[in-house]
Structure 1
Amino acid sequence: MITVEGLTKTYGGFTAVDDVSFSCRPGRVTGFLGPNGAGKTTAMRVMVGLTPPTRGQVTIGGLRYRDIPNPGRHVGVLLDASAQHAGRTGREILTVGARTMGLPTSRVDEVLAQVSLSQDEAGRRLRNYSLGMKQRLGLAHALLGDPSVLILDEPANGLDPAGIRWMRDVLTGFARAGGTVLLSSHLLHEVELIADEMILIGRGKIVAQGDKKTLLAGAGAASTLVSSLDDAALAAGLRARGVEVEPAGEGLRAHAEPAEVGRAALELQVVLTDLRLGNAGLEDLFLELTADSQREGHVDGPVDGPARRTEGVPA
């Protein structure tokens, strides 16, 4: 369980995180969504003790991160997959982590297999890793202590489509086993496929939170993708019922719930070939709520210290 209460972080006159409060529950994946520079990384750095808050607090299992004994055994962290010694091999990086946490070295082979890094890949130096391999190694490091909580910043960055699906399966499996996952991203579609709940942040403030259905219902933004054997008749019938309809791909987008569209098709005796909840409603909501952050050059505030250290283990 992660509990964030009134979290605020300022740098001089710049407020990176502004009175943010939310919770992440066991057995669920929580998506932390916002444009680049919205405050996600700063908030996560505060969560794991890398940046001191100006106000507010974050507890994990009722304790601040710095007060958790051997925190890597309880909280797995991945904030920057490149924040390791470039001259060490993947195996050496994991071995150092295992020894720091008092784990047997056999755990290294277990997590390497879990993230699909081969023995040959584990023997390469980090400087020779692709970004996708670094992400896999970073997740292996986060999983090393068999934690109950994962805090991950843009973990799918650099992964190919197969790798993204693999990451999705790993994290949903972790949550189904009772774990708590907080996953940040600036990519809506990446998160909505996996997240049970979503927190939308823009310019350091939470602008919306809830599951997908709740967010759409609150914004009145229901959208349905539909195709049929007679789209023209279906579109005319929906418009006659006061539903806004527009072409979309090989079918239509109706701004109504799928059940409403299905009932209309039944009454019109039009055979449907596809009927599903559309994504544009949520995407439009996301862009609208974070519009003032959707620009190049907006940054997430200064980074404390000489380097962005992201290990989820005690120093």
Structure 2
Amino acid sequence: MINVEGLTRTYGAFTAVDDVSFVCQPGRVTGFLGPNGAGKTTTMRVMVGLTPPSRGRVTIGGHLYRDIPNPGRHVGVLLDASAQHVGRTGREILTIGAETMGLPKSRVDEMLALVSLTGGEADRRLRNYSLGMKQRLGIAHALLGDPSVLILDEPANGLDPAGIRWMRGLLKGYAERGGTVLLSSHLLHEVEQIADEMILIGRGKIVAQGDKKSLLAGGAEKALVTALDNAQLSSALQAKGFAVSAAGEGLSVEAAPVDVGRVAAEHQIVLTDLRSGGAGLEDLFLQLTADTQREGHPEAATQQPAQAGGPA
């Protein structure tokens, strides 16, 4: 279990993390979401002793990271997949890790197979790795000591669609076996599929946390529906007191999909499409972190283009 209590980290007058508290439970994947510069990586660095907190503390299994003997056997960490000696091969990097943790060399081959790095790829030097290969190697290093806790910063960065699906299955299986996973990512769709709990952070403060259902429960229910006779369906829905508006080839209804389906069944109207039209995780994320976004910021609209020959 990871327990973050009143964590604050300042750099002079700048506060990178501001009184952050949350818990990551065993058997669950916790998604840690926020725009660039929101404080995610700083929080993770404090967790593993790379950055000292200004106030508050983080414990893993009830201990500060620095007090955990042979920490790689208890906590797997991936903060930067490129943070290894570029002149070493992937196999050498894992071998050094195994020797440091007191693990048998056979563990290296097990991890290479787990992350699907071939023998030829394992014997390449890190400078010749693609970003996706570095991520696979980083995940292998994090799992090397068979830890009970994983702390991963953007582990899907650089992976292709097949690699992302592989990683999703790997982390789900790890949590199902009782492991604790803290996963930072900007790939909201992926986090939405894998995370049991989600923490949204902006400007160093937590703006929302909970499971997907509870986070999205605050918005009004809405349905998107298409029928063989949209006009008949619209009239039937409005007669029941539901607000209806046109939406593409169908209708947008301020009602739960089950209520729309019930009205259609009562009037024997054939539906060709019916789904939730409520806000998703991306909408919630952008709404809660609106003042931290570069795109769409009011000041951006007032900026004039650089003159020819001037600074760009």
Short-chain TM bin = 0.7 to 0.9
Q: Could you tell me how far 1:293 is from its partner in structure 2? A: 1.1
- Could you say which residue in structure 2 is the equivalent of 1:156? 156
**Aligned residues between the structures:** 295
- Could you say which residue in structure 1 is the equivalent of 2:81? 81
Q: Could you tell me how far 1:273 is from its partner in structure 2? A: 3.8
Which amino acid is 1:288 matched to?
Q
Gap regions ≥5 residues in structure 2: 298-312
- Could you say which residue in structure 2 is the equivalent of 1:289? 288
Once residues 278 and 145 of structure 2 are traced to their aligned partners in structure 1, the CA distance between those partners, rounded to angstroms, is: 37
Larger radius of gyration: 2
Once residues 83 and 165 of structure 1 are traced to their aligned partners in structure 2, the CA distance between those partners, rounded to angstroms, is: 24
Q: Which fold has the larger relative contact order, with Cα–Cα distance below 8 Å and residues 6 or more apart in sequence?
A: 1
CA RMSD of aligned residues (A): 2.1
Q: Could you tell me how far 1:278 is from its partner in structure 2? A: 4.8
Tell me, yes or no, if structure 1 residue 121 matches structure 2 residue 129.
Answer: no
Q: 1:285 to 1:243 in 2, by over 3 A?
A: farther
Q: What whole-Å deviation, never above 9, does each CA across 1:238-288 have from its counterpart, x for those lacking one?
A: 45533455526x655545433333333323433334444457433222111
Gap regions ≥5 residues in structure 1: 299-315
When normalised by structure 1's length, the TM-score is: 0.87
Q: 1:65 to 1:114 in 2, by over 3 A?
A: same
Residues 242 and 253 in structure 2, CA contact (< 8 A), matched pair in contact too: no
Once residues 253 and 280 of structure 2 are traced to their aligned partners in structure 1, the CA distance between those partners, rounded to angstroms, is: 10
Q: Which stretches of structure 1, 4 residues or more, deviate above 6 A after TM superposition?
A: none
- Could you say which residue in structure 2 is the equivalent of 1:220? 219
Q: Equivalent pairs: percent with the same residue? A: 79
3-state secondary structure, aligned to 1:193:
helix
Residues 76 and 142 in structure 1, CA contact (< 8 A), matched pair in contact too: yes
Task: List aligned pairs for 1:128-277, cutoff 5 A.
Answer: 128-217=128-217, 219-238=218-237, 241-243=241-243, 245=245, 247=247, 252-277=251-276
Q: What whole-Å deviation, never above 9, does each CA across 1:11-61 have from its counterpart, x for those lacking one?
A: 111111111111111111110011111110000101111100011111111
Which amino acid is 1:257 matched to?
A
Which amino acid is 1:286 matched to?
F
Q: Could you tell me how far 1:178 is from its partner in structure 2? A: 0.9
Which amino acid is 2:205 matched to?
K
Q: 1:295 to 1:111 in 2, by over 3 A?
A: same
3-state secondary structure, aligned to 1:121:
helix
Residues 153 and 183 in structure 2, CA contact (< 8 A), matched pair in contact too: yes
Structure 1 stretch 166-175 or stretch 264-273: which is displaced more?
Answer: 264-273
Q: 1:231 to 1:79 in 2, by over 3 A?
A: farther
Residues 223 and 281 in structure 1, CA contact (< 8 A), matched pair in contact too: no
3-state secondary structure, aligned to 1:36:
coil
- Could you say which residue in structure 1 is the equivalent of 2:47? 47
When normalised by structure 2's length, the TM-score is: 0.88
Q: 1:178 to 1:157 in 2, by over 3 A?
A: same
Once residues 244 and 106 of structure 1 are traced to their aligned partners in structure 2, the CA distance between those partners, rounded to angstroms, is: 63
Q: Could you tell me how far 1:160 is from its partner in structure 2? A: 1.0
Residues 222 and 276 in structure 2, CA contact (< 8 A), matched pair in contact too: yes
Once residues 87 and 235 of structure 2 are traced to their aligned partners in structure 1, the CA distance between those partners, rounded to angstroms, is: 65
Once residues 27 and 176 of structure 2 are traced to their aligned partners in structure 1, the CA distance between those partners, rounded to angstroms, is: 5
Once residues 85 and 58 of structure 2 are traced to their aligned partners in structure 1, the CA distance between those partners, rounded to angstroms, is: 29
3-state secondary structure, aligned to 2:163:
helix
